[in-house]
Structure 1
C-alpha cells in the first residue's frame, strides 16, 4: 500500500519517491499526476529529451484525442492548451473507389474527436511535468534491472556509466515492449500474451494545395478497401498524415515506384494528385512497413512496489483510436483510486475494441442505433459513443453493447417477420384480380411489339 506520510509530533515526514519509467505520453502525464499529489517524482527515459532532439525517433501516427483522454488532461490543467493545438474531426469521411465522399458522424451534433500531433503532445506534457518543483526528468537512462522487493533500479547511460535509484513505487509506462514487465514474467501466476496482426502500417504525407488543406480538414478521412485501408488525419500545418494499413505480404509485392503508382491508381486514385506522384514513389520506400502488436497481461501490479500503465499493460491496435485515451485514463483511474482509498492502490483492467466501417450492415445499424439513441438516449447508447464520448468502463461498454445488440437485432427480426406476416395476411384476405393485372401487361406487350416492328 502506498500512503503519503503526514507531519507527526516526532518530526518531519519523508516524502515517498515515485519512479516513472518511460517518458512517453502516459509516463509524462503520470509524472504530472503524482507530482500534483505531492510525491517526489523521478522520470526516466531511454531516449534523449525530444524537446531538444533534432530528429524525433519512434512512432508518429497521428492521435485521436477523445473524452477519456481529455478528462485526464483536464485533471492536471492541460486540456485547454492541448485542445487549442488540435483539429476537431466531427465525422469519418469515407472515400469510395469512384471518388465519392460520404460522411459518417461520430456522435450527436457538436461531438467530435481531436487530431493531435504525438510529438508536440509529448513535449507539452514533459514541460508540464517539469514545472512541478518535486519532479526531476532524467533522459538517456536505459533500465537494466530492478528489484520488486527493494525498489532498487539500475540505469545505464549511453556512455556506459551506471546509476542506481531506489523508489517506493515504480510505475512502468515504457510501452508495449516494457523492460519493467520483464520482472513480471519471472513470477508465477502472471498471465501474458502478445499478438501481432498480419497488417503493417506506413505513413505518407499529403501536402497543402495553395497554402490550404488538400481535403476538408474537419474529418478523419478513410479509404476502406476490405483487407486494407488508408486513413488521413489533419495537421495544424495544413498537411494530412496518411497511414496505409495493409497485410505485410501486400506491402512486399510492391518493389518499384511504378508499381506504387499502379497500386494507388487501382485502389486510391483520388489520393494520387493530392499526395503527388513523385512523393508517393519516394516516400513509400523511405521506411519499411511497421508492425502492430496487442498486449494483454494480468495482474498489472506486483504488491505495493510496481504497477504497469498504458501500453506496458494493454497495448492495442489503433483502429478504435483508444491506445492513448486508455493510457491517459489509467492515470486518472489510479488517481481516483488513491483519492478513494487514502492513496492506496489496486489493479484495474481494460479491454481492446475494434470497428469496421466498410460494411453496409454496419452503416445500416449505425443509422438504427443513432435513431434509437435519439429516441431513448438513456436506454440505447451506441458503442462508439460510450467509448469515445463517455468514461463508461470498457468492460461495461462492451457488456452493454452486447445486450443492446441482441435487443435491436431481435427487434429488427420481429419487425421484419411482422411485416412479412402482415403482408401475407393482406394478400390472402384481399387477393389481387389476375385479370386486371393481365390487361395492363398485355397492353404493354402490344406496345413493345409495335415499337419493335416499327
Structure 2
C-alpha cells in the first residue's frame, strides 16, 4: 500500500456504537488497522462505576472467541483469568453425579466473568492512540446517507459526530438497527422464549470451591434446569432457567425451599437456606430473546454485529463467541477487499447472515438437550457412538458440539454436516441391527430351539430388565 493510500485510510473515521464486549473488541480491530476510532457507549464507564448494570451471566469462552482475542493480542491474558471446564457434570434427581466430556482429552471451554472481560477490552482499546472512548452517549438518531449521528449526553446537551463507517454493536435492542427497520426489504424477527432466568450465588467453603470446579454443573429437570459455573473467587454462579409460569407459582420463602428440596436438594446446603430465601426474590425471572435479521448492512455506511445482528439465547454458550467471530470475519473480508467498504459490507452480509441464523436455531435446540436429553439413555448412547466414529474417522465424522465449540467451521455448515452425519450413523445402526436379526433368524431356522428352555431364558432376561433402575 503506497503512502497516499495510507494517508487516505488514516483519515477514515469508524464509529463503534456500543461499548459492550463486541463493541470494545471491534474498537481494537479497527484501531489496529489504523482507522480513527470513536467508541460511543450509553452507560457510564463500567471500569469506574460503583455498580455495573446489565447481564451478569457467566460466559463460556471457546475457540471462536479465542481466535478473535488472539488477533488483537488478548488471548493469553483473558485465558489466564478463566477457569477450564472439561465436561458437563449432571446432577440427577437422586443426587447422583455423572460427567459428559465436551470433547477429546485437552478440549475445554472457559468460564469467564463478563464484567471483567468487558473492562479488559475497553482498557485494551484505549491503549491505541487513534481510539477515543466516549461514555454516557445515548444515540438519538443517525443518517445512513451521510454517516452523521446525534447523541444525548448526561448533561442534557446533544452531541453530533460523523463517521465513514458506523458499526452497530449496541445489543439485542439496538438503536442503530431501528434505522434498518425503516427501510424496505429488511427482514426482522424476534422471539421471546417462555422461559426466564434467575441468578443465585454459591459461596466458597473455607476458601475452596463447594463443588468440583472444572465442570459446568447441570441439574436437568426436563422442563427446566439449573446450571452452575465456577468463578475465580472460588464461588459458583448458579442460573435457574424455568418457564415464567413456574416462577409465578413460587410466592413465599417456604415455597422456595420446598421447590429446591424437591428438585435441587443437593444444592441447598451449598447455596444456603437463608441465601436462597433472600436471593430468589431479589429480582424476578429475566426474559431471553432471540433475534434474526437480514441484511446486516446499509450501503457502505453501516454494519451491525453481535446481538444487534443475531441475539441468541444462552444455551449453546455461543453468544459472545459468535459476536467475537463477527469481528474477525469482518476483518478477514476487509483484508480480502482492501478495506473498500462498498465491497466489504455486502460480502459480510452474504457470509455472515446464514451463520447468524444457524447459531440462533442451535441455541434454541441446545436448551432442550441440556434440560431434557441429557437424562436420556439413548442420548448418552448416541454420544458414545458419535465419539466412536469420530475416533475412527476424525476428519469425516465430527460431533456437532466439537464443530461449534472447538473449530471455526461456519455455523450453518456445521448444522448441514450434522444432519448428514446423523443420517449416515442411523443407517449404520439400522443396518447393524438388521444384520443381527437376520443372523439370529438364520441360526434359529437351522437349529430350532427347545421352546420350554427358550421361554425360561426369556423370563430370566425380562426379570433382569425390570430390575434395571432408571437414573
Q: TM-score, normalised by structure 1?
A: 0.94
TM-aligned CA distance change 1:148 to 1:9, over 3 Å: closer
CA RMSD of aligned residues (A): 1.8
Structure 1 segment 351-390 matched on structure 2, within 5 A: 351=358, 352=360, 353-354=362-363, 355=366, 356=369, 357-390=374-407
Q: 1:6–1:13: 8 Å Cα contact kept in structure 2?
A: no
Does the 8 A contact of 2:84 with 2:109 survive in 1?
A: yes
**TM alignment of 1:110-259, pairs within 5 A:** 110-259=106-255
Contact 1:7 1:13 in 2 (8 A): no
Q: State which of 412, 415, 420 in structure 1 corresponds to 2:429.
A: 412
Q: CA deviation at 1:6?
A: 5.5
Q: What secondary structure does 1:49 align onto?
A: coil
The one of 59, 84, 93 aligned to 1:88: 84
Partner of 1:289: 285
Equivalent residues of 1:230, 1:243 under 8 A apart:
yes
**Distance in 1 between residues matched to 2:293 and 2:330, nearest whole Å:** 17
Query: 1:420 Cα deviation (Å)?
Result: 1.4
Contact conserved, 1:221 with 1:233, CA < 8 A, in 2? Answer: yes
Query: Relative to structure 2, which stretch is displaced further, 19-28 or 356-365?
Result: 356-365
User: Secondary structure of the equivalent of 1:64?
Assistant: strand
String of CA shifts for 1:138-181, please: whole Å, max 9, x gaps: 00000000000000000001221100000000000000000000
SS in 2 for 1:379: coil
Asked if 2 retains the 8 angstrom alpha-carbon contact of 1:72 and 1:329, the reply is yes
Residues 10 and 36 in structure 2, CA contact (< 8 A), matched pair in contact too: no
Q: How many residues align?
A: 437
1:426–1:177 CA distance, 2 compared to 1 (3 A): same
Aligned with 1:33 (options 29, 33, 36): 29
- Give the direction of change, closer, same or farther, for the CA distance of 1:6–1:153 in structure 2 (3 Å limit): farther
| Whole-angstrom CA distance in 2 between matches of 1:284 and 1:237 | 22
Determine the structure 2 residue equivalent to 1:77: 73
| 127-136 or 353-362, which deviates more | 353-362
- 1:68 and 1:390 in contact (8 A); partners too: yes
CA distance in 1, matches of 2:301, 2:5: 28
Structure with the bigger percentage of helix: 2
**Inter-CA distance 380–12: structure 2 relative to 1 (3 Å threshold):** closer
The question of whether the paired residues in 2 share the 8 Å contact of 1:29 and 1:125 is answered with yes
Contact 2:10 2:35 in 1 (8 A): no
What SS does the aligned partner of 1:180 have?
Answer: helix
**1:72 offset after TM fit, Å?**
0.2
Paired with 1:436 and 1:67, the residues of 2 have a C-alpha distance of 58
Residue 10 of structure 1, CA deviation: 13
1:303 to 299, 314, 332: 299
Given the alignment, which residue of 445, 449, 460 partners 1:428? 445
**Inter-CA distance 48–99: structure 2 relative to 1 (3 Å threshold):** same
| Separation in 1, partners of 2:453, 2:162 | 94
Q: Matches of 1:413 and 1:51 in 2, distance apart?
A: 58
* Structure number with larger C-alpha Rg: 1
Choose which of 13, 17, 28 in structure 2 pairs with 1:17. 13
Q: Is the 8 A contact 2:9 2:35 kept in 1?
A: no
Q: 1:305 to 1:100 in 2, by over 3 A?
A: same
Q: Give me the whole-angstrom Cα distance separating, in 2, the residues matched to 1:304 and 1:265.
A: 57
Structure 1 residues 422 and 308 mapped into 2: Cα distance closer, same or farther (>3 Å)?
A: same
Per the alignment, residue 101 of structure 1 pairs with 97
Partner SS state of residue 3, structure 2: coil
| Corresponding position: 1:401 with 2:397 | no
Unmatched runs of 5 consecutive residues or more in structure 1: 442-454
CA gap of 1:160–1:364, structure 2 versus 1, over 3 A, is same
Query: Which deviates further from its counterpart, 337-346 or 287-296?
Result: 337-346
| 2:314 counterpart residue number | 318
Tell me the alpha carbon deviations over residues 199-236 of structure 1, each in whole angstroms, 9 at most, x when there is no partner: 00000000011110000000000000000000000000
CA offset at residue 11 of structure 1? 8.3
Q: Which moved more, 1:404-413 or 1:58-67?
A: 404-413
Aligned pairs for 1:244-283 (under 5 A) are 244-283=240-279
Gaps of 5+ in 2: 459-471
| CA displacement 1:117-151 (0-9 Å, x = unmatched) | 00000000000000000000000000000000000
Measured against aligned partners, the alpha-carbon deviations of 1:371-392 in whole angstroms (never above 9, x if no partner) come to 1101110110000000000000
